[in-house]
Chain A
Amino acid sequence: QVQLVESGGGVVQPGRSLRLSCAASGFTFSSYAMYWVRQAPGKGLEWVAFIWYDGTNEYYVDSVKGRFTVSRDNSKNSLSLQMNSLRAEDTAMYYCARGALGILVRPPDYWGQGTLVTVSS
């Protein structure tokens, strides 16, 4: 069955960096686009980053452009999110989620349980 397991969250000071990882299994990872989606406390879901199946294109929500970088290693079935210059408003549960096949853009189907990022001094 499809499994997505996030790791790397924690408490970090404003301005510092954190790297999230997502281990995928149960499907052909290299065939699917992938998302990072976050949910701030008391707020709705927000997509943060999206990467094509082959990693050749990445897209970001405006609020993280220039600070976050999504990447993938299809040989290791893994997805990453490098988060730099973190701000208090980045505090959220971060989910790894599976997109559609190839370069199609569709709402995600499978999700991980999430990893909590808290940005606080």
Chain B
Amino acid sequence: QSALTQPASVSGSPGQSITISCTGTSSDVGGYNYVSWYQLHPGKAPKLIIFDVSDRPSGVSNRFSGSKSGNTASLTISGLQAGDEADYHCSSYTGTSVVFGGGTKLTVL
């Protein structure tokens, strides 16, 4: 199972919106509505911010939103804040297991 494809890096200024893509195939992202997104800060536990493509866990800001079109899922962060600077990883169910993306480093300028 090949890893999902994410851009290595994205950047934005405070207050702006950014979108991170996560591209897979019809056997993973495109085939199931079980895509999750995680926020990774150094030294901290990865945090689930989106599950089932577009649902937010309790306590996660509504500035984070998820969507999917075909084989590509997307994470949008609106109203960028300095604290959003982190690595973001996607994951998808594959029918038998899960697969992760390569991760995207978000820089808040």
Is A47 an interface position by the 8 A CB rule? yes
Total number of residue pairs linking A and B with CB closer than 8 Å? 65
State in angstroms the CA–CA spacing of A45 and B34 once bound together: 17
Q: Which stretch, B64-72, B74-82, B89-97, touches the partner chain A?
A: B89-97
Contact B97 A105, beta carbon cutoff 8 Å: yes
Pairwise interchain contact A107-B45, C-beta atoms closer than 8 A: no
The number of residues on chain A lying at the interface, defined by a beta carbon within 8 Å of a beta carbon of chain B, is: 21
Q: Is B44 a contact of A113 with CB atoms below 8 Å?
A: yes
Contact between A47 and B92 (Cβ–Cβ < 8 Å)?
Answer: no
Residue of A nearest to B98 (CB): A107
Q: A44-B101, A107-B51 are in contact. Are A114 and B89 (CB under 8 A)?
A: no
Q: Which residues of B contact A (CB under 8 A)?
A: 3, 6, 34-36, 38, 43-48, 51, 57, 89, 91-93, 96-103
